[in-house]
A and B are shown apart, each in its own frame.
Chain A
Amino acid sequence: MRTRTLAVMSTLLFVGLAILGATRGKTETTEDESVYAELGKAPEKYRSKANPLAKDSDASAAGRVLFEEHCEDCHGQNATGGRKAPSLRAKEVQEAPPGALFWILTNGVVRKKMPVWSKLPEPERWQLVSFIKSLGPLEPAEKKSESKR
């Protein structure tokens, strides 16, 4: 009987904590510029790294596939940001050195809900950087249509 109670209590605690985890924390919006400050924390060693796949014609297309598989759910369909993660079309991201984006992918921003993507091999992370860079900043017309959505 005691064990059963313990089991029920533990299960309830598990569910409670999971819900707490799901509901706590502020939703970051694309307007919140502080979320981009992390890019500035990339060490110089990474910032100065060139994308080794810069001349690979398939890198951006492969990056798009990876983006759809791993990133789109949070960053939105056109990388314009979602309820959970900021826009990757913001000038802070588009003007950041490729190495800084690679560093963010590798380390995540775990205190701000961005997972660590070091489980993707390095070439896949560079393919993602190629794709993000290929998107360019949001044009004013795109911004308008995004804000209507």
Chain B
Amino acid sequence: MKVMRYPQFSRSFLMAFLMLAGASLVRSQENPYIVAYDHNLEEPGNLEVEYFSTFGTQRGGPDFHAFWSEFEYGATAWWTTELYLAGQTTFGESTLYTGFRWENRVRPLKNEHWINPVLYVEFEDTNGADKILKEVEGHDVESDYLTPNAIARQERNCEMELKLILSSNYKGWNFTENTLAVKNLSNEPWEFGYALGASRPLALKGAAHKCNFCPQHFIAGVEMYGGLGDRYSFGLPDTSHYLAPGLAWNLPSGWTFRIEPTFGLNGNSHQFLLRWGASYEIAGLGQKVGDLFKGKHE
């Protein structure tokens, strides 16, 4: 077997870096949602690299910091595919990698409508120590997160998650409703959840000059999400729910920053989560990758 030597690896890395550096940056127009999805997909050929953090308070145990990276790619104008890698630190315990998620979002309708559906399919392979709370489903409650990392990491969860995203844009506002159904592939019942969101830019008109702090670059919003039980006990008993006002700052350089203080709405929820994230949009990456494979230049 041919082994890639260090200089070869360095050259490949350098080439990949130059390719990325050569790709141009574009301003994205991201909503502040961290859990809910709207119907806006990634532009084709663009790659968005994202980092998110959640600091969580935990009653009866140590607080935690969960973090994840997302690589979101616009395969076509109607299909976005995304890979997540997640980890967490539980204070006083350990830091560990908790697994990956691979999601796909597809826009089935050609044109924009009053309500725009997007179909979402995700495969998730995580361990029991996963704490990113990217979705809340079934009977997820705060006490589930009390198990020490050393024990929780031994549990494996392979799940298939389906979402119906219904989203509307009206007079600068975005309203979105997500319904989710999750199936643990190890013969556990279907679990359900929801996420709702509303957001609006602070100004609807663009400025006649380039600026970082113009109000149209800031989008304020709020999201609410929670579990809806499972197939055998559908409903609100023994579920947790959250309300999260958020703000996104979309910079013309291609960066987006988000912050979202999150409040638990009942006794089963974490009392407080602080979420934040940074993302960076790289335009035309697909074309450059395509050129590498085709060996074709203008």
Contacts and interface: CB of A to CB of B under 8 A. Distances in A.
Contacts of A37: none
Interface in B165-208: 169, 171-172, 174, 201, 204-208
A116 B112 contact: yes
Contact of B112 (A17, A66, A118): A118
A23 interface: yes
A18 B112 contact: no
Given A21-B44, A115-B44, A124 B293 contact: no
A73 B110 CA distance: 23
A18 B29 contact: no
A119 interface: yes
A141 interface: no
B293 A19 contact: yes
B207 A62 contact: yes
Interface string A97-124: 0000000001111111111101111111
A contacts with B: majority SS: helix
B274 interface: no
A121 B125 CA distance: 38
A124 B206 contact: yes
B204 A123 contact: yes
Contact of A22 (B26, B289, B298): B289
B208 A62 contact: yes
Interface size bucket, B side? 35 or more
Interface string B69-85: 00001111111010100
A146 interface: no
B210 A21 contact: no
A119 B289 CA distance: 27
B298 A83 contact: yes
A121 B201 contact: yes
B154 interface: no
A69 B81 contact: no
B112 A65 contact: no
A42 to B, nearest CB: 11
A115 B43 contact: yes
A25 B76 CA distance: 10
Contact of A21 (B158, B283, B286): B286
A23 B296 CA distance: 11
Contact of A14 (B102, B169, B216): B102
Contacts of A109: 77
A29 B75 CA distance: 20
Interface of A: 3, 6-7, 10-11, 13-14, 17-23, 25, 58, 61-63, 65-66, 68-70, 73-74, 83-84, 106-116, 118-124, 127
22 contacts: A14-B81, A14-B102, A19-B289, A22-B285, A25-B76, A58-B208, A65-B208, A69-B252, A73-B284, A108-B112, A109-B77, A110-B78, A112-B77, A115-B43, A115-B77, A116-B40, A116-B112, A119-B38, A121-B201, A121-B216, A124-B206, A127-B206
